[in-house]
Chain A
Amino acid sequence: MNFVQFLQYAFIQKAFIAGSFIAIICSMLGLFLVLRKMSLIGDGLSHVSFGAIAVGLFFGIYPFYIAIPIVMAASIVILKISEKTKVYGDAAIGIVSAVGIASGVILASLSKGFNVDLFSYLFGNILAISDLEVILSIVLSIIVLGVIYFYYWDLYSATFDEEYAKTTGINTSFINILLSLLTAITIVLSIKVVGIMLVSALLILPAVTSLQLAKGFKSAILISALVSLLSVFIGITLSFFLDIPSGATIVMVSALFFGLSLVYKKI
C-alpha cells in the first residue's frame, strides 16, 4: 500500500482531522500550563477522567458526556484546594488524581462487565475514533481556541507576571479558573488520541520543545503547534505502517522533536 492509498481510508482521514484540532489546542494550552508550572495538572486530570469514564460505563452513559463535566469540576477542586487550604498545588493534584483512579478501580471491580472497555481508554486509539467523537473534538476545540483568542492578553499577562496583571485590572482568579476548565476539556478530548496514561505528554512535549527555540511568545505558539501537528501526523502514519499503538507512537515522535530541539540549541 502506498501513502496516497493510506490517506484515502476514512478512518485515517478522521484521525488526522480530529488529531489536528486536538494537537493545536494541546500545544497552546500546554504553553500556558508549562510556563505556570502547572504541567502535572494534565496527569492529575487524566487520572480523574479514568474514574469519570468508569462512572459513564457503569451507568451505561456515553463516557465523554460524563467525563467532561466531572473533569471540569475536578479542575476547579484542585484550584480551590491549593488556593484556600494549606496544601500546595502539586499535592492538591495528587489528592484529586488518587481519588479519580481509586473510584475507577472500585467501579471496575463492582461491575465486571466493562473492564476491557475501561482499560482501552488507558492507551487511546485515534484510529478507532467515531464520527461523534470527531464532531465533538472539532466543536470543543473551536470553543477552546475561541476562548484563548478572546482572553489571549489576559492569559499572557497573568502568566508572565500575575501580580502586575492584577494592578492592570485583570481578574486573575477568573483567568486561573478559565485555564483550568479549558485544560479539563482538552484532557478529555486528548484521551482518544494518546490515552489516559500519556495525555500529559501531549500538553508538555510540544510546549517545552518550542520554549527551547522560540524568540517570542507568538513564535513559541507557532513552534508548539507545528511540533504537535507533526507528531500527530507522523505518529499516526508510523503506527499504521509499523502496526504499533498510535498513542505511544505520537508521544515518542513528540519526544524525538524535544530531543532534536535540545541538540539544535547546543549546536
Chain B
Amino acid sequence: MNTIIEVSNLTVRYGQSEAVKDVSFKIEKGDFVGLSGRNGAGKTTLIKALLGLLPAYSGVISLFGKPQKEFKDFGKIGYLPQKHSSINHLFPATVEDIVLLGLLSTKTTPKIVTRKDKQSVEEVLEKLKISKLKNKLLSELSGGQQQRVLLARAIVSKPDLLIFDEPSTALDPASRAQFFEMISGFNKNDGITVILITHDTGYIGEYANKLLYIDQKLIHFGKLSEFCPSGELEACFQKSDKHIIWHQHN
C-alpha cells in the first residue's frame, strides 16, 4: 500500500466562505510535497482538514488507506504546527515532557510513560543534537531551539508522514537552511513522506519532488518541472520567485 493520503473533491468552509474548494490529489509513500499558495489560499486549512482539526464540508479524505473518521493510528503522523501558535507559553513544560507528548498518540488512556518512552525521547534529542536541553523549559529556549524541540515531538513516534506548517518563519537564514536539510534527510534516508507548507518558494525545487499549489482550488499538483514552464507559474509567483525556482530546478 503506497498511497499515504488520498483527497477527493474536498471542500472546507468557514461559515459560508469556502477556504478550500473541490481539491483532489494523491500523495504516495516517499513523496516530499511542497504545499504553497498565496496568503489566505487555504494551505493551513487544508492541512487542518487532513489532520481532522477542521471538518470537511464535502469530499473524502483517506489516510493510509482508511477513511479519515476510521483512522486511529495517530502515531503514523507527525505534525509541526505553524509558529507555535497554539502553545501555552506559561506552562512550565520541560523539553523532555514536550517530546513525550508526541508518544501519546501511540497509547490508550490511562497513558503511562515507560522507561522505553524516556529512552526514545533521549534518542530523538540526541539525533537533533539538543540533548543538553532535556530539562530546560520551553520558554528558556531560542526560536531555533524551540523549533527543534517541536520537531523532536513530531518525529519521536517514528511517523510515516511528517506535516510541517511554515516551519521556517521563526528561523534566521542559516538555521533555516539547516532545518530544511534535516527534513530532507528524514525523507531521503528514512523514507518518511513529507508535506511542507512554505512561502520559501526558492527551497521547494531544491527538496520537494512534488508541488501542491492551491488558491482555494487546486492550481497544480505534480512535478515542479511541469509547473515551471507553465503560464500558471508567473500568474502565481512573483517574477523574482519564478527566477529562483527556475534556476534551482534546472
A interface residues with partner B (beta carbon < 8 Å): 35-36, 149-154, 156-157, 159-170, 211, 214-217, 219-220
Contacts and interface: CB of A to CB of B under 8 A. Distances in A.
Contact of B86 (A150, A163, A214): A163
A35 B90 contact: yes
B135 A217 contact: no
A170 B110 CA distance: 12
Interface string B66-102: 0000001010010101000011101111100110111
B109 A156 contact: no
Interface in B125-183: 135, 137, 153
5 contacts: A153-B100, A160-B93, A164-B86, A169-B105, A216-B92
Interface string B43-80: 00000000111000000000000000000101001010
Contact of A217 (B53, B97, B104, B113): B97
Given A167-B74, A170-B104, A161 B111 contact: no
B88 A35 contact: yes
B51 A156 contact: no
Interface of B: 51-53, 72, 74, 77, 79, 81, 86-88, 90-94, 97-98, 100-102, 104-105, 107, 109-111, 113, 135, 137, 153
Nearest to B136: A215
Given A149-B110, A150-B109, A169-B74, A161 B102 contact: no
A97 to B, nearest CB: 25
A144 B114 CA distance: 24
Contact of A150 (B77, B90, B92, B110): B110
A166 B137 CA distance: 23
A154 B109 contact: yes
Nearest to B104: A168
Contacts of B52: 166-167
Contact of B92 (A154, A157, A168, A217): A217
A169 B72 contact: yes
A211 B92 contact: yes
A153 B53 contact: no
Contacts of B105: 167-169
Contacts of B93: 160, 216-217
A11 to B, nearest CB: 38
A211 B98 CA distance: 17
Contacts of A149: 110
B147 to A, nearest CB: 14
Given A149-B110, A153-B113, A170-B104, 7 more contacts: A161-B86, A161-B88, A166-B51, A167-B74, A167-B77, A168-B104, A215-B137
